[in-house]
């Protein structure tokens, strides 16, 4: 269950999706403290992406996108110098409502007030049809048979696995989609556009 307060880890180019796995190397002192506190608590942290222009305010509280994804620390290794290697598993999307100031002598990392954002449930066969389009597109792009995509992979998991190879801003846009149907449809349209652009370039040259 998502708590109403969540420590957040803002990064400029990392997006976490529900059920996806994300390895992280933690080296900054404030985020080492965050991981240590999480390991002593419910092992949850929130991944959020920094908005453009973060470079000028990184040591403070640069602006973030309002939608992020909570992650559960499934594995943690503390190195002799205090750094951590951790593995996060995405649990659920959240919306940042506000941030509370750090307590005197307390956390050095950011704490957000959040609310859970449930994915909309697709109705009928629309998601299955969108998945078929996605599988065909993958087969065309990778020059493999349509049956190369494992059928036992859940629709959302398939979309999230492919999304890991996109640009961070594209990943953020997919994360903010209302549900798996919209996310799958948006991914199909994005990949079709890329394929069309590549085909046009090949014809031109």
Contact 14, 175 (CB under 8 A): no
What secondary structure letter does DSSP report for 66?
S
9 to 65, 71, 135: CA distances (angstroms): 12, 10, 33
Residue in this structure with the two tokens 């199909």, named with its chain if needed: 188
- Neighbouring-strand partners of residue 117: 93
* CA angle (116 as vertex; 23, 155 as ends), nearest 5: 60
CATH topology of domain 5-117: 2.30.130
Find out whether 187 and 158 touch, Cβ atoms under 8 Å: no
Q: What is the pTM of this model?
A: 0.86
> pLDDT at position 88, please?
97
The answer to whether the beta carbons of residues 72 and 91 sit under 8 Å apart is: yes
Pair 63, 53: CB distance under 8 Å? yes
Angle value at C-alpha 180, between 177 and 184, nearest 5 degrees: 85
Full pLDDT tens readout for the chain, 205 residues: 899 999 999 999 999 999 899 999 999 999 999 999 999 999 999 999 999 887 777 667 889 999 999 999 999 999 999 999 999 999 999 999 999 876 666 678 999 999 999 988 877 788 888 988 888 888 777 655 556 667 788 888 888 888 888 899 999 999 999 998 999 999 999 888 887 776 544 444 4
Integer Cα distance of 181 and 28 in angstroms: 38
How far apart CA 29 and CA 31 sit, in angstroms, is 5
Can you tell me which residue has the tokens 């996060």? 88
DSSP state for residue 121 in the 8-state scheme? P
């Amino acid at each position: 269950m998502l708590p109403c307060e969540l420590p957040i880890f803002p990064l400029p180019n990392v997006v976490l999706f529900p059920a996806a796995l994300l390895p992280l190397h933690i080296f900054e002192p404030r985020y080492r403290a965050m991981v240590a506190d999480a390991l002593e608590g419910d092992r949850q942290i929130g991944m959020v992406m920094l908005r453009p222009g973060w470079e000028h305010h990184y040591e403070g509280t640069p602006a973030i996108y309002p939608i992020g994804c909570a992650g559960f620390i499934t594995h943690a290794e503390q190195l002799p110098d205090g750094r951590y290697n951790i593995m996060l598993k995405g649990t659920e999307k959240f919306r940042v409502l506000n941030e509370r100031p750090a307590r005197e002598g307390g956390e050095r990392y950011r704490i957000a007030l959040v609310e859970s954002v449930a994915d909309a449930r697709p109705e009928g066969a629309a998601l299955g049809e969108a998945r078929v389009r996605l599988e065909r597109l993958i087969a065309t792009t990778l020059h493999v048979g349509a049956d190369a995509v494992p059928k036992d992979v859940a629709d959302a998991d398939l979309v999230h696995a492919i999304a890991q190879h996109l640009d961070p801003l594209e990943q953020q846009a997919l994360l903010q989609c209302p549900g798996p149907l919209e996310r799958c449809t948006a991914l199909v349209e994005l990949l079709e556009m890329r394929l069309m652009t590549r085909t046009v370039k090949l014809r031109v040259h």
